[in-house]
Amino acid sequence: MHGLLIIKGRQETLLTTYFKETLATATADYQQQDLTAEQAHEFAKLATYRYALEVVQLASQANKSVDEVAEIYFSLQEVLNVAWFTAQTEQLPQQSYWDRRANNAISYELNRTLRNRP
């Protein structure tokens, strides 16, 4: 839990350009649904917490500080343009059960490769 608090406290500085743009878009979308600016921003940030959990897990596995792993993790996300790969996967056809299975397999392999797990 301590690691998540570290990331939450530094969330705005750790987020890459892609995440900041996504956060801004989501915040605007929530504001159009009659949430206050503060509520919309807090609600939009929830989507980034799955990355925070991954950073904490990686830091624990590598026996490194959460700060160090978070900076590397989010920098690599931007350098490798992971957002582009993810967006491309999401745009693939999903008309059948097999399309969805293939898309899930691609997403799984991308995430597994990024984490370098067997």
Residue pLDDT, tens place only, 9-47: 555 566 665 567 777 888 999 999 999 999 998 888 887
Q: Total domain count for the chain? A: 2
pLDDT at 2 over 70: no
What range does the domain containing 117 cover? 80-118
**How many CB atoms lie under 10 A from the CB of residue 2?**
7
Residues 94 and 108 in one domain: yes
Residues 15 and 68 in one domain: yes
pTM of the predicted protein model: 0.61
Residues 66 and 88 in one domain: no
pLDDT of residue 118: 39
Cα distance between residue 109 and residue 60, in whole Å:
22
Residues 6 and 21 in one domain: yes
pLDDT of residue 15: 61
Cα distance between residue 12 and residue 118, in whole Å:
32
Tell me the pLDDT band of 1, cut-offs 50, 70 and 90.
very low
Residues 70 and 115 in one domain: no
pLDDT in tens, 57-115: 888 889 998 888 888 888 887 788 887 887 788 888 889 999 999 988 988 888 777 76
Average pLDDT estimate for 48-54: 79
Residues 30 and 47 in one domain: yes
Residues 13 and 57 in one domain: yes
Residues 26 and 72 in one domain: yes
Residues 97 and 68 in one domain: no
The single-letter DSSP state of residue 47 is G
Residues 97 and 115 in one domain: yes
